[in-house]
Amino acid sequence: MYGRALKPLALATAAGAALAFGLIFFYAPLDADQGFIQKIFYLHVPMAIVALLGFLAGGVMAAMHLRTRRRAWDMRSYVAIHLSIILAVGVLVTGSIWAKASWGHWWVWDEPMLVSFLIIFLLYAVYQPLRFSIDDPERQARYASVFAISGAAFTVLNFVAVRMAATYTHPRVFSQTGGNMPPAMFLTFLVALGAMALVFVTLWTLELGSKNAAERLRRARRHLQREADGREAGLGGEAGRPRPAAGAPAAVSVSAASAPTPAPR
């Protein structure tokens, strides 16, 4: 299933990324205050939105795992959270670069959105150590699903609290005034957001396909190993039977040996 979907997704992702970069560098106007450095906005903000949506999707898939007890949902949740953590690192790096260029500081601790995203990242940074500290696969999947659901709920509450903050310096993209963005900038942002979402879905599909192929390979190896062990056990049973020594006369049946020799006539 994942292999069939990967090719069209990859083509759509390449086309979307090419269109997004074209709009960013050749269509969207330069910001009057920040100049060229403002174009990092088209990478930073889509990564942040897709990462948060990935955390939420991981929580929904974890709930499906607890409901159905199917390991496939646990693996989907794990891959979604894993990719979202990687995107979150990119968000923090690009955000620091943008903050240094715009505000003169690598980090601003009194900005609610920055600090809240850092808290979410640190929360999910515990996900993988917690998951892989449990050896039993069933308990591992169950505990990871509970963590993913709790993390998704915290992400939603945290986002709502930040949006209700009275003071902020971080720009708002989706607001009642449209974020005060010119139409060309807003269109470019939407295309960049779609391209980033395609990148996420493509990588999610690729990693799931790779993990499913690895799991099928492990099952095939276990099956072949069981067959080999069965053959070795059969050969061992035949080898345990006693065989006549070399040069010893062949065994004679008891009835033939004890039969009387007929008298000559």
pLDDT for res 246: 53
pLDDT for res 236: 63
Q: Which of 115, 112, 88 is nearest to 169 (CA)?
A: 112
- Average of per-residue pLDDT across 47-63: 95
Q: Report d(CA 133, CA 121) in Å as an integer.
A: 19
Q: How distant is the alpha carbon of residue 127 from its chain centre?
A: 12
pLDDT for res 238: 57
DSSP codes joined into one string, 139-190: HHHHHHHHHHHHHHHHHHHHHHHHHT-S---SPPSSSTTGGG--HHHHHHHH
pLDDT band at 107 (very low <50, low <70, confident <90, very high): confident
Weakest mean pLDDT among 78-82, 84-88, 161-165: 161-165
pLDDT band at 102 (very low <50, low <70, confident <90, very high): confident
Q: For residue range 227-261, list pLDDT tens digits in order.
A: 777 777 777 655 555 555 555 554 444 444 444 44
Q: Is pLDDT of 81 > 90?
A: yes
Question: What domains does the chain contain, in order, with CATH numbers?
Answer: 2-223 (1.20.120)
Q: And the tokens for 152?
A: 């998704």
Q: How many CA atoms lie within 13 A of 43 on its CB side?
A: 19
Q: Is pLDDT of 263 > 70?
A: no
The mean pLDDT of the chain is 81
Q: For residue range 172-210, list pLDDT tens digits in order.
A: 555 544 456 788 899 999 999 999 999 999 999 988 888
Phi, psi of 263 (to 5 degrees): -70, 145
Please identify which residue in the block is written with the tokens 């759509």.
12
Q: And the tokens for 108?
A: 């601003």
pTM over 0.85: no
Of 175 and 42, the one with more pLDDT: 42
Q: Kindly state the helix (H) or strand (E) to which residue 213 belongs, with its residue range.
A: helix 183-239
Q: How distant is the alpha carbon of residue 191 from its chain centre?
A: 24
3 state SS of 35: strand
Q: For residue range 122-145, list pLDDT tens digits in order.
A: 999 999 898 888 888 889 999 999
Q: Are 118 and 92 in contact (CB under 8 A)?
A: yes
Q: Are 184 and 22 in contact (CB under 8 A)?
A: no
First to last CA, the chain: 89
pLDDT for res 88: 95
